[in-house]
Amino acid sequence: MEAEKQFTTTTVDSDPDTHGEVVVNTKKMNAWQRFKDGFGPADVSHLDTEGLTPMEIAALKTANAPLNRGLKGRHLQMIAIGGSIGTGLFVGSGASLATGGPAALLIAYGIIGCMLLCTVHALGELAVAFPVSGAFSTYFTRFIDPAWGFAMGWNYTLLWFAILPLELVAASITVEYWNEQNGTNINPAAWICLFWALIAGINLFGVKGYGEAEFVFSIIKVAAVIGFIIMGIVFVCGGGPSGFDYDHYIGGQMWQSPGAFAHGFKGVCSVFVTAAFAFAGTELVGLAAAETEDPRRMLPTATKQVFWRICLFYLISLTLVGLLVRYDDPRLLNGSSNVDIKASPFVIAILNAGVKGLPSVMNVVIMIAVLSVGNASVYERSTHLRHFCRACLWSVRLHCCCFG
């Protein structure tokens, strides 16, 4: 039978009793033994570390469980550019605009973006200098304390455990937009099962399936933001359809009336929460680096793309939103959830311009953004659980594997 096949592993020892001769130890290993040992770290004790620097030795010990490098450079580039573009930008920015105003929106997102840029570059340098096999919580263990690394790792893992069901429900809510338009009444549980099967099917193909899905999702999200930026510039210059709000030059009128700030300093502080949520998931670049071909060359390039994402896809698009939508528009606070496109300032700007059909297109983009986060949550928690499988005792490894 297949399970009874015997595999041979070979180790090379140097025995002083043999006067420098090489002794080859060969042992047979069945399929179950290979499966069980597959959850533990690879044995690198036989490697000669003489002549290596302390940094190289530390990197060798950290990266002692090589992963299947199924991600290509294009995958990492698109994850860096569009990985975290989601409902925090498309919908959540509406409530931020209402509570803080257009100037507060730019200030909060700009400050959080600068902090994130420093964090991602630091993570990129660590990932290049100390390549880890997946979970970057290893850095906490190495440079701070094992207890701190354990706590932060599980905290991060449990966070992504909660994200998947949340995003599945959110994706079903986006479909309600078309149910209201068509007068149909489909049970949301059916959509939840469908989206769950889709995400599960993607991740059955391993890291390559995740990379290809994120590549497509990111292209769609980036194209939507670029399209809105071009359209927003046309609207600000007065190129909208005749008879609607943007058929004349408006410039910075919204910054004068009703104004740049909604509630002063308090409004600026309230926007920081939404801004931090909107940038969540950027650390995926560092997490995916260990499974990327030639990470030492690809990762620095990918981390530099974060700057353009912050400036182009966040700050420029939000600047146009502030120029096109009044912060006292009651529709900004009419959303029933954080994925309700009726509260999206992007959709409100499109409706003010009188462009038909685009709200449905934006709803598709929001649904794709939600599914992208759900897909990333499976990859993130699986990678971290694999890290705990390697770090924990064997009694814990199997439980980690089952949940991963």
DSSP 287-338: HHGGGBSSHHHHHHHHHHHHHHIIIIIIIIHHHHHHHHS-TT-GGGG--SST
Composition of the chain by helix, strand, coil, percent to 5: 70, 5, 25
Residue 38 lies in a domain: no
Cβ pair 9, 37 in contact under 8 A? no
Range of the domain at 257: 75-403
C-beta separation of 224 from 362 below 8 A: yes
State the Cα–Cα distance between residues 287 and 290, nearest whole angstrom: 7
Report how many domains make up the chain.
Answer: 1
Is the pLDDT at 392 greater than 80? The verdict is no
Q: Residue 195's closest CA among 387, 377, 380, 13?
A: 377
Query: Can you read off the two tokens belonging to residue 304?
Result: 């530099």
Assigned domain for 35 exists:
no
- Of these ranges, 55-59, 134-138, 291-295, 355-359, the one predicted with the greatest mean pLDDT is 355-359
| Residue 217 resides in a domain | yes
Domain presence at residue 66: no
What's the mean per-residue pLDDT of the chain?
77
Long-range pairs for 151-159 at CB < 8 Å and ≥24 separation?
A: 153/384, 153/387, 153/388, 154/388, 156/380, 156/384, 157/380, 157/381, 157/384, 157/385, 157/388
Dist. CA 321–CA 353, nearest whole Å: 13
Say if 21 falls within a structural domain: no
Please indicate, yes or no, if residue 187 is contained in any of the structural domains. Answer: yes
Reported confidence tier of residue 196, pLDDT bands at 50, 70, 90: very high
pLDDT at residue 25, rounded to an integer: 45
Task: Flag whether 14 is in a domain.
Answer: no
Domain assignment present for 326: yes
Single pTM value for the model: 0.76
What gap in Å lies between CA 344 and CA 340, rounded to an integer? 7
- Going by pLDDT thresholds of 50, 70 and 90, the confidence category of residue 121 is confident
